[in-house]
Amino acid sequence: MEERRPHPLLAQVPLTVSPFISLPTATTLPYTYKSLPSTLPPASTGEDNGIDKPRYVVSASGHAAHPDEIIASCKALQAHLQKIQDDAERTIREWEDGIKERELAEKRRLAPGWLDREEKILEPAKKQKSVAMTSARVVPEQNIMDSQDGGPAVRSLTEEKAAEGEELDRAFGGMGLR
pLDDT tens profile 119-144 = 666 667 777 765 545 445 555 555 55
**Over pLDDT 90: what percentage of the chain?**
18
Mean pLDDT of 144-167: 67
Residue 98 falls in which region: left (phi positive, over 0), alpha (psi -120 to 50) or beta? alpha
Phi/psi at 38 (nearest 5 deg)? -70, -25
- How far apart (Å, rounded) are the C-alpha atoms in residues 58 and 64? 4
Name 108's Cβ contacts closer than 8 Å, sequence gap at least 6: 114, 115
DSSP 94: H
Distance separating alpha carbons of residues 55 and 66, to the nearest angstrom: 4
Identify the pLDDT of residue 51. 63
Q: Give this prediction's pTM.
A: 0.34
Q: Please list, residue by residue across 79-97, b when 16 or more beta carbons sit within 10 angstroms of its beta carbon and e when fewer do.
A: eeeeeeeeeeeeeeeeeee
Q: Do the Cβ atoms of 156 and 137 come closer than 8 Å? A: yes
Q: For the segment 9-40, what is each residue's pLDDT rounded down to a tens digit?
A: 888 877 777 788 777 788 888 888 888 777 76
Secondary structure letter of residue 65 according to DSSP: E
Greater pLDDT, 54 or 152: 54
